[in-house]
Structure 1
C-alpha cells in the first residue's frame, strides 16, 4: 500500500470533522459600535451608580507624556484611594472581589487592594477600530471554536455571544502590531527571595508581517532571547502561533548555545512549565491564557462589575528597581492601583479524557481592552490553586493598551511568578515595526544564535 493510500482514511476523517464543526452565530449589527458600545465593543455608558464612568474616548495621543526611556508620567498621580481593602474589612466588599482576591486576602496578611476612582483610559488607533468594525461581518469561529475564519486585524468579535468569541478577543487583542523590548521575569519564594531572568523579545502580529499571505494560518510570530543569568544567556525560543489551533498546532524552535544548533520544541504549550518559571507558570498561562483552547469546555457566565488592576503607571515607573516591586507573597500592594470595571466572565472546565494540571479556570476579561484582568486556576479536585493578575496601562502616545507586568500567585506554596517587567530597561519599547516571514524562520534563528 502506498503512503498516500495509508494516509487517506485519516485525511477523510479530518475532512468530515471540519464539515461537521459548527460555526457559531454572533452579533451582526455593527452600528452598535457607534451608539450603545464603544469602538472596541465595551459598553459606552456609565454603570447605574456612576462608579464606572462612561467611556469618553480614552487617553489619546498628547494626553500623557513619555520620556525618551519610555517612562510614562502618571496622569492620576494626585488621586488618593477611595478605600483600602484588607483581610479585616474584605467582607464589606465581597460582591466586588473575585474568589481569587478573597483567597489572597485570607492567605496573605500583607496583601491589600488600594481602590481608586475608575478611569476608562483604553483607546486604540482608528485603523484598528475600523478593522474591528469590519470584523462584525467578516470573522467567524470555526473548528468547534478553536480557530478564526476571515480575521486579519482588530478585535475579532466586538459583539460576542459565545465564550470562545470572548476568549479569541483576548487571544487576538490589540497590543500594538509589533513590539520589541527587553524585559524581566521573576520567581519569588515565600520568604521574598527571587530568581530574576532577563530577555530580549520581538513579537510581530500578522498585520506587521509585510509578506504574509492573506490566507496564512498565523496569528503572530515571536522570538525571545535570554540575557541573564549566565547559565541561560543566549538561549533563544521562536514561536509561530496559528490562527487555527486545531488545523495546525503551535510550532516552536529553540537554540541552545552549548549545542550550537536549532531544534524543534514541541512542548511549549498547554500545561508544560513556562521556561524559567520553575513550575510556577504553565505555558498556556502566560498573559492569562494563550494557545489552543481545545482541552476545555467553555461557558460564558456574563458580565460583572469587579475590582481589577488598572492604569498601572506607578508600577511601571523607571524609578523603581525590581527589588522595590518583588516582596514576599505578592508584589508590593502600595504600587498597585485597583479600579471598578465591567468584565466578561468565562469559565473553562477540563474535558473528560483530556490532561491538564488545571481542572477548571475562570477568566475576568476587561470590556474595553479584552485583556484578561484576573483569573483563577483550580486543581483536579476543584480546589483553588493559583490566581493571576494583569497590571495594564495605556501608552497614550502610540494608542496601545499594554501590561506594565503580570503575576501568577500560588496560594498553596506562597510562591509567585511575574512577567513583562521593564522598569530597569533604559530604553523605550519599539512598537509597530514591520518584519518579513524570513525574519522568523529556523534559518534566521541560527543566525540570531551566532
Structure 2
C-alpha cells in the first residue's frame, strides 16, 4: 500500500537536517531527566514535585471501566476568576485570561500538582535510542532515525517540540465511541461517532527500518443523530504530509457513495462541526507543519488542565458538562506544570484563520494542553484546551476532552464526550485493511 519511508525520502531533492543530541546528553534520560525528557526534579518552591514514575492504576480498577480518579481526595488549593486573575496572569495562557474576563462566573479550580504521566518501558527505550539518531528533514516536514518513542526528548527548536506532540504514544490501536458538541448561541447539538484508530509509528515492534511514511489510520461512523447516521470517514495519515498528502474519503448514506475529499488538512473545516473546527485542531494540533514558522520560547510554569478524571467519570449527563458558554468549571481540574512554550507564525503566502498560535506543551507527556489562537491582525480570537488523564491501563497520557472556544462570538466546540459510552478499547482487533475507500463502501452497503 505504501512505499517504504526510506525510499520516499530519497526522492526529496531538498532536505534540512537538524542536529541530534550527543550521547552524553542522551544519557541524562532516566537520570536528571525523565525517560521522556522532562526535568525529573521538582521546582525550588515545592509547588511542582519530582517525577517518580507516574500514576499506577488505583485499587479496584479493571480494564473497561471509566478510569477512577486516583487523586479524588485532593483538596482544592484556590480558584482563579476574573476577580483575582491579575495575580496569576504570568501563569495563564492569554486565551484563558480572556475567557475569565468574558465570563465573570467562570472560575478555574486549582489543585496540587500531580506528575502522573507514564508510558510503557519500550517507549522509554525507543526514546533514548531516538535521541542520538532522530533528525528533521525536508525543512522540518519529515523526520528520519526515529520510531516508536519521542523523537526529540531534548528539543532544540519549536518544531521538534511539536513533532514530539504529534508522535507521543497513544496506544497501538483504539476503538471508542464518543460525542462531539457544537455550541452556537448557547445551544448545544451532539453528534455520536464510533471511531477506530490504528497507530503505526508507535506500535510494538516498530523500527526505523520497518517504518514507512504512515503515521496512523483513522475511521469513524456517525451513529446519532438519525439524520447523519451511517455517515462515515476514513483517513490515511502520513508522517510527512508534504511528501505525501493526507488521504480522506467520506461515505454519504444519502446517495450511498464514497467520495475522495479534496483536502482534510490545515484550514479546511472538519465535517459536521458547523465551521467551528479546522482540520488541524484535532488532538490540539495535527498534520504538516510547513505553513508556519516555529520558534521555541522556552519552558515556563503555567496553570493548565491536568488529571481531568472528574469530568471523565461514567454517567455524567452531557448537559451537565457542556454548558451555555463554557464547560462546567466545577468538573475541571487545573494544576501548575512546567510546559514548553512554542510560537507558530503563518508563513507569507498562506492563509489560515489562525495566523499565529502559542502552544503550551506538557514537559512530562508532550501532550499539548492549551493553545492561544490569533488572527492576522494579532487579535486573540480563540483558546484550545486539552483536558488529559493518564489511561493507566496502557499506560499513556491523552486528552479525555478537548475544547475550542471562539472568544469573540462565544460559540465553542467540544470533542471526546464519552461518559455514557463504553470505555476505550486499546486492545481492539483492528485490521489496517479496513481503512480504505473500498472498505468504507462495503460497510456502507
Pair in the same fold by TM > 0.5: yes
Alignment check: 8 A CA contact 1:210 1:435 kept: no
- Is the counterpart of residue 21 in structure 1 residue 18 in structure 2? no
- Is the counterpart of residue 205 in structure 1 residue 176 in structure 2? no
Alignment check: 8 A CA contact 1:208 1:432 kept: no
Hey, what does 1:341 align to over in structure 2? 337
Once residues 223 and 108 of structure 1 are traced to their aligned partners in structure 2, the CA distance between those partners, rounded to angstroms, is: 37
Alignment check: 8 A CA contact 1:64 1:72 kept: no
Once residues 99 and 443 of structure 1 are traced to their aligned partners in structure 2, the CA distance between those partners, rounded to angstroms, is: 45
Once residues 95 and 111 of structure 1 are traced to their aligned partners in structure 2, the CA distance between those partners, rounded to angstroms, is: 19
Deviation at 1:381, TM superposition (A): 1.2
Hey, what does 1:56 align to over in structure 2? 52
User: What's the RMSD between the two structures over aligned residues?
Assistant: 2.0
Comparing 430-439 and 251-260, the one that deviates more: 430-439
Relative to structure 1, the CA distance from residue 67 to residue 385 in structure 2 (aligned partners, 3 Å threshold; closer, same or farther) is same
Q: Indicate the SS of the match to 1:94.
A: helix
Q: Indicate the SS of the match to 2:122.
A: helix
Hey, what does 1:189 align to over in structure 2? 184
Alignment check: 8 A CA contact 1:224 1:238 kept: yes
Alignment of 1:32-431 (within 5 A): 32-60=28-56, 62-63=57-58, 65-66=60-61, 69-191=64-186, 193-206=187-200, 207-208=202-203, 214-425=210-421, 427-431=422-426
Deviation at 1:18, TM superposition (A): 3.6
Deviation at 1:125, TM superposition (A): 0.7
Alignment check: 8 A CA contact 1:26 1:159 kept: no
Deviation at 1:274, TM superposition (A): 1.4
Alignment check: 8 A CA contact 1:135 1:156 kept: yes
Comparing 351-360 and 27-36, the one that deviates more: 27-36
Comparing 62-71 and 72-81, the one that deviates more: 62-71
Alignment check: 8 A CA contact 2:43 2:49 kept: yes
Deviation at 1:182, TM superposition (A): 0.2
Measured against aligned partners, the alpha-carbon deviations of 1:128-152 in whole angstroms (never above 9, x if no partner) come to 1111111112321111001121332
Once residues 176 and 256 of structure 1 are traced to their aligned partners in structure 2, the CA distance between those partners, rounded to angstroms, is: 30
Q: Indicate the SS of the match to 2:227.
A: coil
Deviation at 1:70, TM superposition (A): 2.2
Once residues 21 and 205 of structure 2 are traced to their aligned partners in structure 1, the CA distance between those partners, rounded to angstroms, is: 31
Relative to structure 1, the CA distance from residue 332 to residue 37 in structure 2 (aligned partners, 3 Å threshold; closer, same or farther) is same
Measured against aligned partners, the alpha-carbon deviations of 1:165-199 in whole angstroms (never above 9, x if no partner) come to 100001111111111100100011343x2010000
Deviation at 1:342, TM superposition (A): 0.5
Alignment check: 8 A CA contact 2:385 2:402 kept: yes
Give the number of aligned pairs: 434
Hey, what does 1:439 align to over in structure 2? 434
Alignment check: 8 A CA contact 2:386 2:403 kept: yes
Once residues 11 and 235 of structure 2 are traced to their aligned partners in structure 1, the CA distance between those partners, rounded to angstroms, is: 27
Alignment check: 8 A CA contact 1:42 1:367 kept: yes
Measured against aligned partners, the alpha-carbon deviations of 1:271-304 in whole angstroms (never above 9, x if no partner) come to 1111221111111011111111111111110111
Alignment check: 8 A CA contact 1:184 1:196 kept: yes
Alignment check: 8 A CA contact 1:350 1:360 kept: yes
Once residues 48 and 65 of structure 1 are traced to their aligned partners in structure 2, the CA distance between those partners, rounded to angstroms, is: 36
* Structure 2, gaps ≥5 residues long: 1-7
